[in-house]
Every structure is written in structure tokens, then in C-alpha cells.
Amino acid sequence: VISFKRRKDKAVEQSEQMNVVTHDSISPLDTPKAQEVIAYTLGTFAGVLTNEELMVLDNSLKAFIIGESIQQTAVNHRISKFRTHDVYHFGWNIAKRLKISNTIMAEFLKSQFPWQLADVEISTIAKKLSSDEGAFTLPKVEPRLPLPSFPLAKKLGIC
């Protein structure tokens, strides 16, 4: 009887310790991949978007990462020389690191770049995230490689 009680007490103690671990889990925003994606996004669009647009894109991306609804559109205009394929590659770079489906990423992209993607269906965006056909400035970066900010403003001749 005593050994059973000891085993039961030990099992309860271990169970309580495991609960503590699960309650202290880190925010999805604090993961290295999320931090990398946020830094990539802000660094890539610095100088291309206004500070307000960058802030909205940052907030939208963070809400997207933690699964909250997105309240605002970051870019309400067409970005000169920034092609549809650039938006696709931006989305692909993020989706692959965060392990998000192409369709979910396509919905996010359409919400944040509605003018760039005005004539493109979500299903088409989802299919073309990895497309290398046509002209583009923003490259795809393999998920196993680091994702540094891309000098987009310089490449587009904005700065």
C-alpha cells in the first residue's frame, strides 16, 4: 500500500511539474523563426513603405503569426517596379519558415497588398508563391538558409 501511494504521489508531482512547463510556454512571436521573419519583413520594406505602412505591416504580421484577425491593410497603393512575383516570393519566404500553408499565406498577402494583387485570385497566389517564371526583384531564399533583409529600396531605385 505504501509503495503504491509513493508512486501515485510521484506521478501527481511529475504531472504538476509538466503543467508548469506548459503554462510558461513562449509566445509564437518569441520564436527564432518568427523573429527572423519579422526582421526580414521590416528590413526588406524599409525605405519602400512609409513608417506608418511599415508599422501596420509589422502589426498585421504579428497578428497573423499568433492567429489573430488582421485589422488593417498595410499597403493601399501599387508599389512602382515591385512586381506580383515579388509579393509571391516575399510570402513564400515567410510561409516556409513559419510552416504556414500557401493558401493561408495567400490570404495574408491579399489582405496586405490588395493593389498589387487586385487582379489575382487567392488560389492563384497560393499556386504561384514559389514561381520563378517572369521578372522579379525579390528572391526566394531556401528555408534551410538564413533569411536576411533584402535591400529592396535600393534594387527598386527608390533610395
Confidence of residue 49 (pLDDT cuts 50, 70, 90): very high
Length of the chain: 159
Q: Look at the block and give the residue holding cell 513564400.
A: 92
Q: What is residue 13's three-state secondary structure?
A: helix
Record the pTM.
0.82
pLDDT of 19 > 70? The answer is no
Rounded average pLDDT over 30-45: 97
Average pLDDT of 59-74?
94
pLDDT at residue 38 greater than cutoff 70: yes
Bridge partners of 46, per DSSP, are 49
What sign does the dihedral 109-114-117-122 (CA atoms) show?
positive
Using an 8 Å Cβ cutoff, are 131 and 85 in contact?
yes
- 46 secondary structure, DSSP code: B
